[in-house]
Structure 1
Amino acid sequence: MARHGAQLLPDGPPALRAAAADYLTHLRLERGLSANSIDAYARDIAKYVAVLAARGVSDFAAATAEDIRAFAAALEADGLAVRSRARATVAVRRLHRFLLAEGQAADDPGADVAPASGAERLPKALTVAEVEALIDSVSGESPGELRDRAVLEFLYATGARISEAVGLDVDDLDLGQGVARLYGKGSKERLVPVGSLAAAALEAWLVRGRPGFAAKGAGASGERAGAVFLNARGGRLSRQSAWAIVTRAAERAGLASHVTAHSLRHSFATHLLEGGADIRVVQELLGHASVTTTQIYTRVTAESLREVYATAHPRAR
């Protein structure tokens, strides 16, 4: 029987288990990680949950940098290889970063715990040409194709998480003003601009595609009927289905090897910073509680600059 990451978590305080399970769901649905990768994360986090419980910590929001260092020390005492310890520490740092971004914690204790050198990979952003190829891979006029293109355009235009996109209601859109209202975890609300190309794709879907799908869901509850993105039965599009839209587009565009459900969000942030946007503005658009979370994208753009320099400068080789 196939395993699921959450099943690998040990018994422990309910708040720890619930938050850990929520993070594993995020990795599966929004980051698009494989089952094996999620199991690896689950095993690392399970060990962390056990250490926190033994130290009397019942909620990740109460964990400190010292708790994370105690976890790393416990791994070393168990004889875990250096590379495995580094991976586990990175898994815990990313867990805390996620909780901060989602408003489930007030700070990020992992920010004060340096991972092993080279252990943490930067998020992968697509080039502008790759984003265009991804979106242009959907060009038909059927209701499903109009919806899929609108989903892709919306994710890249707004930097929305997939969960925020599928949670969008028609009343949250003002295409005349070019804005959308997004709700993160804990119903944290933010307004984001919607560019002209995304607005055009959304209008095409709402006018020529959505009515046909909505008719199939006639009699649906108000919650379902008000959704912007619908499935073919007239219900609200699920996160799994939205992730599948991104995956199928990546396959058609020849980008399947390095595209996940989170790639358009990463690309949105990276391209804004490369274009000169202020990091505080990008923080607000992404819905990050702390600018520390957003700063990883400045490292991405710095890496890109170094690559260009090394390639182009005659004395850089």
Structure 2
Amino acid sequence: MGGAPLAWMSLTWTQLHLSLSLPQILCLPLYLSIPESPSWLLLKRRMDVLERYRSNSPADNQCLDLLLDSSWSDLQKASEAGEEPTPGGHAPGDIIHLRHRTVLLRLFIMSYLSAASALTYYGICMNISSFGVGVYSAQFFSGLSEAPCLLVPLIRLGRRPISMLALFLSGASCFLSLLLSRYNGAPVLVMSLALLGKLCILAALFISILYSIELFPTVVRQCCVSLVNLCFRLGCLANSLVPAHPNGTISLAAMVVYSSGPIIGSALCLLLPETSGVPLPDTMQDCERQQHLCTLEEELVCSQCRKPETLPAEKGDTHTTLI
């Protein structure tokens, strides 16, 4: 949203690039304050770093104890099986885990979702001037439509249903907007549908960032998330290969690509488990158990339902004790 007035005020491309890049360079030192994942440090036996995190504050010490409780038991089981990780390096089994069918299926689906989302998102951004609205106005409202997407990951409806809904609405909105723009529809209606499609596909992208972290186990999470991000960049590059129409409008091939990709991705989400409220997987066994794990809220409700009632005699005894 702020890029449109910034581009309008910049006299040259050099000023525009400097005004966009300098704030990002100034924020680079902030990455030094981001701590490493405690689960990853435990699996790599980086106990010295964990002890340094524990000494920061009592609250950090308590949170680390709660977080690493389950991870430590899994590490002990792996040590008993003879799988001793190399301190500070990569264990030989890390690459083997990438060949597991569960990891491969999730990696394929998330890579496709990233590539299709990037193709649709940048396809709308690069063809925003073909919807019959001014360039600066279109870019301003295009950026304004992205603001609500930041709050979508906070919705407690689960990762999978929100991803499916966002991808399907994005594909349907893009198809209708591109169809109306091709057959001389009202520019306001075409622009509104295009912005709705952009809002939904960006919401799906924000959710996929969390979804990718929660789907892959700790031993290969960094590699898998990197591959998913690589597919996102490849989708950005593939956008330049989509054929354009000679008169400057969006071609029929681009219309099919931008709309069909998210719709197919929404169907592929049916093969993924729900990860909202479920502990992060550390091993391959945790990934296979994700389908059967209940969320933390469901577990709390179940524990309250299973809570035994106090008998009248016990209540009397308790009252006597208090007296």
| TM-score calculated relative to the size of structure 2 | 0.23
More helix by share: 2
Please tell me whether Structure 1 or Structure 2 has the larger radius of gyration of its CA atoms. Answer: 2
Length-normalised TM-score, structure 1: 0.23
Bigger relative CO (Cα 8 Å, ≥ 6 apart): 2
